[in-house]
Structure 1
Amino acid sequence: MRYSLIIPHFDDVERLERLLSTVPVNRSDLEVIVIDDCSSDQYKLESIKLRWPMVNWLTTERNAGGGAARNIGLKEAKGDHLVFADSDDEFLPEAFTYFDTHVDDNDDLVYFLAEALQEADGSSSNRADSLNELCVSYTYRPSSQALKKVQFGHVVPWAKVYSRRFVESSGIKFEETSVSNDVAFNVLLAIQARNVRVVPVKVYRIHRRAKSLTADTSPEAFLERVSVKARLADSLKKLGVQELPSATGWMLASFAYGPRTVYRTWRMCLASELQIDLFRALDPFRWKRFMAKSRADRSEKSAAESSRGQR
């Protein structure tokens, strides 16, 4: 078996079927594993199972999130290479042909590019831009610093192909948190991979929806994201990594949530291996990029919600 495609799913049968229609499910060297995270509408799920009998359908014991679902997929996978997809996205035509062409048996991790569209009207989205820029910059001018930016900045599991042997030998799993459950998995594997390549071709399409544009912005979700980053920094320190993630942005952002969240955030950051760099916070170029991305995100959110309201 050459590939194992792992797909977590929850309550979105229509989009899952859209994704499956872009996968060459009849290939004998590809196994497709869908892990349902205890969807509420099991009738719909059973109907799609009948239409896609070539898929290996699994389920979590309880609703535990995408990280737990992917971990079940990791245990089940038998392919030499691992591919991940979110159930509301899709593969571009010839994606697996590109994998065949560019992925070698000795590769630990191969990065590809993605494109992003607004689901409401099919217009372009900026969601994949920063990840693509990291990859293209490295291929245009390869260096250890450029590769490090890819390793630390490309924190999603899609548009990549992993060696299953490498992943299993690392012992790294997805965190079973409600947010940011894929960050540590991707960064820790990337840092430890010896054979890493970047292939500048697009293989994956992200569909950005009005609902997905509104992430959980509660204080609890914010603190969980900080906790994920803190644990990641501690793990990187144990691996001997010198340049660790910064806490400065999180510490400043905590003021938007009130004094209790500020206290808990600062205490968490100071107790971890996260680095505190005030010069980083004062860097005008970083703020310029941040503001530009924020404006683009707000514009996309407004357009998506407007399109949804007109339907």
Structure 2
Amino acid sequence: MKIKYSIIIPHKNDASNLKKLIESLCDLRECEILIIDDHSTLSEREKLDILQRKYTNVMISCSNITGAGAARNLGISIARGQWLIFADSDDRFDREMNKKISKYFESNYDVIYFKPIIKVSNQNDYRFFFKGIFDRYLLCPVSINEWTIRLNFDVPWSKMIRTQYVKQNDFQFSNSLKQNDTMFSEMVGINAHSVKISDSSIYAVIDRASSTSHQLSKEYFESSLKIIIESYIYKRNHVATHRLIESDMAHFHSPLYAILLSLKHYKSVVYTYRVYSLFKKNKIPIFTWKAYRSLIRRSHFFNI
């Protein structure tokens, strides 16, 4: 049977959750599951071996890679499916996912976006923003709202991406500690010739305190800072300004938000000035009307 889609899952010492993720699918006949392990302990590796023996379409790769970004890139390079689906080991699929995505297998879309299910207790969590932009599009499916998803849904999960599209354009995940998926997701959305936004849900995000999205050390913050700068420059060079103004809810205020965050968490004017200088070095404006307007707009969006 031809492999219709490849599920790529980076993994490190989380075999119990990984097992639940795989078991959340009731139909695995048309897919391969690529688990890219990042130096798990021997006991966790033994659990992976059990999974591989139980499911014939599960492949375990234990190459000498470090980080989720590198793991996903390796998964892309060995994927045999027509489509790519990315997942984190601690989340869950919808049991009927295969049925929901099968109608798009022979479509000409580059990307199909699915409305994410957010199972997170903190109502201010940034992932509720993703749910909100899907709700807005499904209520009013116009170009401005489509581009809000293309530009702002900067995570790899809850979407199906044509493998050939990714490989031909050599889209890669970053090897950063934090936000390694941002640039990949934005490039996929920006460059797609044709996308579909579905009202179906195939993926549920489940919060976990150990997630890198909760890490606030300077090392993680500075990793995130590099991605913010890279994203800003890429969008400035590849997306029309009017489209950014209409549809991007983060582009203009991200530099200002990063500066405010650095001052709040690290309480050092000297350090915050260093952050400010990085933006200035890259000719990224900070204290602008567009930045203030964008920040207020996004704050209001969370309350919709």
Alignment TM-score > 0.5, same fold:
yes
1:31-46 aligned at under 5 Å gives the runs: 31-41=32-42, 42-46=45-49
Which is worse superposed, 170-179 or 202-211? 202-211
Gaps of 5+ in 2: none
The equivalent of 2:60 in structure 1 is 57
Among 5, 30, 36, the residue aligned to 2:7 = 5
The equivalent of 1:278 in structure 2 is 288
1:252 and 2:260 aligned: yes
1:106-117 aligned at under 5 Å gives the runs: 106-117=108-119
d(CA) in 2 for partners of 1:287, 1:21: 36
The equivalent of 1:263 in structure 2 is 273
d(CA) in 2 for partners of 1:206, 1:190: 20
- CA deviations 1:60-117 (Å, max 9, x no partner) are 304x211010000000011111111111111112111110124543110111012132
**TM-score scaled by length of structure 2:** 0.85
Residues 5 and 33, structure 1, Cα contact 8 Å, conserved in 2: yes
Among 16, 19, 22, the residue aligned to 2:18 = 16
Aligned length: 287
1:267 Cα deviation after fit: 1.7
1:70–1:23 CA distance, 2 compared to 1 (3 A): same
The equivalent of 2:148 in structure 1 is 149
d(CA) in 1 for partners of 2:175, 2:184: 11
1:11–1:278 CA distance, 2 compared to 1 (3 A): same
1:223–1:210 CA distance, 2 compared to 1 (3 A): closer
The equivalent of 1:83 in structure 2 is 85
d(CA) in 2 for partners of 1:153, 1:241: 15
1:94–1:194 CA distance, 2 compared to 1 (3 A): same
The equivalent of 1:176 in structure 2 is 175
Residues 25 and 96, structure 2, Cα contact 8 Å, conserved in 1: no
d(CA) in 2 for partners of 1:54, 1:117: 28
The equivalent of 1:309 in structure 2 is none
1:181–1:99 CA distance, 2 compared to 1 (3 A): same
1:275–1:166 CA distance, 2 compared to 1 (3 A): farther
d(CA) in 2 for partners of 1:274, 1:191: 20
d(CA) in 1 for partners of 2:77, 2:39: 18
Gaps of 5+ in 1: 294-311
Residues 12 and 88, structure 1, Cα contact 8 Å, conserved in 2: yes
1:124–1:116 CA distance, 2 compared to 1 (3 A): farther
The equivalent of 2:73 in structure 1 is 71
The equivalent of 1:304 in structure 2 is none
AA aligned opposite 1:11: N
d(CA) in 2 for partners of 1:231, 1:100: 35
1:24–1:58 CA distance, 2 compared to 1 (3 A): farther
Give aligned-pair identity as a percent: 25
1:170 Cα deviation after fit: 1.4
3-state secondary structure, aligned to 1:190: helix
3-state secondary structure, aligned to 1:238: helix
- CA deviations 1:174-210 (Å, max 9, x no partner) are 0011100000000111000010110011111122234
Residues 231 and 272, structure 1, Cα contact 8 Å, conserved in 2: no
3-state secondary structure, aligned to 2:103: helix
1:266 Cα deviation after fit: 1.1
Residues 116 and 125, structure 1, Cα contact 8 Å, conserved in 2: no
AA aligned opposite 1:262: T
d(CA) in 2 for partners of 1:103, 1:49: 26
The equivalent of 1:231 in structure 2 is 230
d(CA) in 1 for partners of 2:124, 2:4: 32
1:206 and 2:209 aligned: no
